[in-house]
Amino acid sequence: MARSSSGQVFKSGEGQVFKPGEECPISGVYRVVHDPAHTKEHEVTCVYGEKFPPCNNCGDHVRFVLERGAHHVDVDDNFKM
């Protein structure tokens, strides 16, 4: 079981585990871990501020693990207006 990350300081954030309903803390690539009975792990892109959704099959059992955070291009210093 993943331990609660509440109270921890974010560094790179990689390896942090999130549950459905929690807010995405950083845009980037997340590894999705399902109940292995219905599907294998895969990757998705999540955007800062959006909530992680429940799975249509395993519901709230799905977990999102931050693999690689990346700033959205709109907030990157090189592209800001």
Instruction: Give the residue ranges of DSSP H helices in 1-81.
Output: none
Q: Is 26 exposed, middle or buried (0-12, 13-18, 19+ CB in 10 A)?
A: buried
Q: Looking at beta carbons only, is 62 or 66 nearer to Zn ion?
A: 62
Instruction: Please state, in angstroms and rounded to a whole number, the distance separating the CA atoms of residues 64 and 62.
Output: 7
57 part of the interface to Zn ion, by CB under 5 A: yes
55 part of the interface to Zn ion, by CB under 5 A: yes
34 part of the interface to Zn ion, by CB under 5 A: yes
Q: Looking at beta carbons only, is 32 or 71 nearer to Zn ion?
A: 32
Contact positions vs Zn ion (CB under 5 A): 34, 55, 57-58, 62
